[in-house]
Structure 1
């Protein structure tokens, strides 16, 4: 399963969810759809997901997740990127190009006002769940490669420095107080 096919899977899952902001529901539908595929396709979907996670392993996006969720650990950044994947290809690519555009996404104003974190751990396990459902076995861990690029050293600054964050992410810092 290549990236194009993976994104089509996510879009089909999003179409089945009444509120497409609900990442867990999208993950459940994506996993169910993926379980109809061969074990090889499921494994390829896992690799594609991890490739997207590697593509999105960027300091500016981590800073956006930090602002949105009032802090962001390593795991929290994974879950934020899981939420971003659940939003679909167009949103994913737009936010990677400019993380400050998270402030413009539907539902983010509500999330900001209500203090709701933007995360979706469940999207990270869609292939695991699909493989187990389809084969009765766990996804083989040696069947895919997890690689993360180095973070940009130019972003080595104090995330708690509100002035620096406001300079780098003006729309998000205007929307969120942290």
Structure 2
């Protein structure tokens, strides 16, 4: 499966999930699982390879800073969930974040988080990222075979996972202005990641 087809499925699942931020993770997960169980197992594994590749593309210090600012802190698992959430925002927003995470300051959900009208973890979609595994289990009845099937497919495709980008200073001034409490935490705990 190519990246364009992967995005088609994600965008269709986003449309199926409907508008609004309440229960976003659960709605995205179920909508994506519903789409994925219509695929063959080979296509499903191909989707996961592209889906994971999109998430790895955001494994950068500046995106971590965005997750930290919006979430009021960020650990490894939370950052994984946030990267999945950025994919869940769709093709347009994914590429905006990829080019400059500070553009999230324009996103309505981020404004709602800053205003305190939705939870800080709304854009951290743990269930959504595991939708391919859930679809595999529904198709096969096997709750353990997904990762082995993925490993075999990646090995056959010659996929090697590169190390994430190194630590570099970043400025996310617009997000920092929306989340001054998080900015103070960053200054205290991660001064090597910022140039403030």
Q: Which TM-score bucket, shorter chain as reference?
A: 0.7 to 0.9
Secondary structure of the residue aligned to 1:29 is helix
Contact kept, 8 Å, 1:6 with 1:45, in 2: the verdict is: yes
Name the residue aligned to 1:5. Answer: 5
Gaps of 5+ in 1: 156-164
Per the normalisation by structure 2, the TM-score is: 0.79
Q: CA RMSD in A?
A: 1.7
- Partner of 1:24: helix, strand, or coil? helix
Q: 1:136 aligns with which of 134, 141, 158?
A: 141
Partner of 1:162: none
Question: Could you state the TM-score of these two structures normalised by the residue count of structure 1?
Answer: 0.86
Deviation, structure 1 residue 17: 2.2
Aligned mate of 2:41, from 39, 42, 48: 39
Q: Deviations over 1:99-140 (max 9, x none)?
A: 001110122111111152221001111110111111212343
* 1:128-155 superposed Cα distances (whole Å, 9 cap, x missing partner): 0111111212343232457252332323
1:27–1:86 Cα contact (<8 Å) kept: no
Number of residue equivalences: 167
**Structure 2 unaligned regions, length at least 5:** 155-159, 183-196
Q: CA deviation at 1:11?
A: 0.8
| SS of corresponding position for 1:93 | helix
Work out which of the residue numbers 166, 169, 179 in structure 2 matches 1:176. Answer: 179
In structure 1, what is the Cα distance between the partners aligned to 2:93 and 2:12? 15
Q: 2:66 aligns with which of 45, 64, 67?
A: 64
2:81–2:126 CA contact under 8 A, matched in 1:
yes
